Amino acid sequence: MITLPLRRAGLPAACGLALLLAAGPAPAASVRRGPAPTLTPVAPSLPIEEHVLSNGMKILLVPQHIAPTISGVWIAHVGSVNERPGITGISHLFEHMMFKGTHVIGTRDYAKDVRLIDEQERVREEMRAELSKMRLAQRRGEIEDMTKPESRTPRYRELEVRFDSLVAEQRANMIKNEFNLVLQRNGATGINAFTAEDLTAYFETLPANKLELWFWVEADRLKNRVFREFYSERDVVYEERRRGVESTPTGKFDESLNSTFWTSSPYSWDVIGWPSDLAAITKAQADDYYAKYYAPQNLTAMLIGDFDPKTALALAEKYLGSIPPGTQPIPEMITAETPAVAEKRFYAEAETNPAADIRWHTVAFVHQDVPALLALSELLNGPTGRLQKGLVLGSGIATSASAQSDARKYEGMFQIQADCKEGHTPEELEKALYAELEKLQKEPVAADELQKVKNRYLANAYRQMGGGFMLLFRYVMAEGRGTWRDADRIDQAVQTLEAGDIQRVAQKYFTKENRTVAIWTRKSGSAPEDPAIAALPPEARGMAKQMLTRIDGMTDAAQVQKMIERLDTMGAQMPPEMKPAMDLVRAKAQAKLNLLSNPK
């Protein structure tokens, strides 16, 4: 089962239910003759056609004649792990820039576009020279903060006025959001993108009779992209970082904890990037990054829905296959995490509830231990998991507790989080968590408990097979971390695990020197966390906080309305544990919309 941002809440098909029931008791009316056969439940799989186009781009085809729609996604095999100091955050910046249009989309006069962009770059080059002077002045102590307006040199201010006039001229020549409008006028929904540590994905759903349009539009933006408003969009991403990281109660602490956990791996910076890098990324650096990582041989497309595979493949070759192959080799990611030699401890005093957060280094997504680690997280998680039974319902020292195995392309981690119940301390939680893990290290899991874990895991895997975006995400996330085939391989491997496998990985990875421990305490004088947020499961709390922060910063009623529409669309695909968070966010969004629509 691939860990996704969202999962479908129900089993998609009767065949899935039948397979799940295979491990359960027989009906009361049945008559058994001799011992019952031992059945291994079958993990889900899907008949996927894989093709490689003439330029090296991979395409996966999954015809499903259920509804007259198609859902398409393509991923670039690049994320924050491929960055370096100086350009952190550039992968996520591309997620924004790829919607700015092409030679024919988003502009009134492409030749004028080119001239304005060239002029902007000449001005920015002079501005960068002034920025270098300001950095030197800051190192000398002559100015305190080069990002403040009063620290800017007179020449920089002159150049800034000139640059702003060029941007205004460029915007007058643009057709704003035309890329999205072209798709929406043809019935597209769910137009979006996301960036992760190992991949960047772009996706939408269209009516089935718009199959050729999908191939044309995506090929056009890959072959003829234009980075309009590059520097102003860079500032938008910087503001996104401010809202999502710097203005939230725990955002800066989470970022610091992440960089503490990883010693040498590029996973040590967040996807959003460091602020000093975001403010300095140049268009030339972006062009070079694009040439390396957005070449067709580093891309995979996937199409699911109501289409003929032969027709789709011919269109894929016609449009996507016309993208020129990259001329630069894809750089191999070499820097690996150094083996841990000592426990790390992180103490954070923030406006949050007291909690313990423990992380252990594990392995890459394709490693043979991943199935056992995933099963171990399932064993600890959920309303019947050991953490709930032992810490929440048993000793009563925690209000919530959860575990997650996060296997990425090059490295992995296992994380356990627990929130303190009033009257208890994070250190008490930490000891209790170790006690639960020690049981797993010393005592093999009982056969019936392990089977229940496998059944729950299998049910979640089948939920991902419900079609549409959840199905797309299942396989593209696997493709981004390894190959799409790993999604099915891992699910089947979980069903063949034995108790000894769980015990072995618990002993191997849950060692003192392999862990980083974060102790969270409430900042003196701060109010307790909003009870509505505190009541959410840990895995939903961070998402809810980020979205609520976004809502607080919104000033446009139309923008809030679009968010509500997206939330309503996503609601049908929400697993039960995420629904309370979505309900809370939607209620806050509705209240914000009412406020903006009816100002007093």
pLDDT score recorded for residue 538: 61
Mean pLDDT of 152-177: 96
According to DSSP, the β-strands at 344-350 and 515-522 are parallel
pLDDT score recorded for residue 580: 80
pLDDT score recorded for residue 285: 97
pLDDT score recorded for residue 70: 96
Which stretches within 71-109 are classed as H helix? 90-97
DSSP annotation of 244 reads I
**Mean pLDDT, the chain, as a whole number?**
88
Q: Please answer whether residues 215 and 90 qualify as being in contact, where contact means their C-beta atoms are separated by less than 8 angstroms.
A: no
Query: Residue 168: is its pLDDT beyond 70?
Result: yes
Top CATH class of 344-522 equals: alpha beta
What DSSP element (H or E) covers 404? strand 398-407
Q: Where are the domains of the chain?
A: 56-107+176-322, 110-173, 344-522, 531-597
Per residue in 61-89, pLDDT (tens digit) is: 999 999 999 999 999 999 999 999 999 99
Mean pLDDT of 334-360: 95
d(CA 261, CA 514): 10
Buried b (16+ CB within 10 A) or exposed e, 36-51: eeeeebbbbeeeeeeb
Q: What is the DSSP string of 142-203?
A: SSS-TTSGGGS-HHHHHHHHHHHHHHHHHHHHB-TTHHHHHHHTTT-EEEEEEE-SS-EEEE
pLDDT score recorded for residue 546: 67
Residue 189 burial (CB < 10 Å; 0-12/13-18/19+)?
Answer: middle
Question: 56-107+176-322 domain in CATH 3.30.830.10?
Answer: yes
Q: Hunting for tokens 């102790």 — which residue is that? A: 519
pLDDT score recorded for residue 2: 55
Query: Residue 60: is its pLDDT beyond 60?
Result: yes
pTM, entire model = 0.83
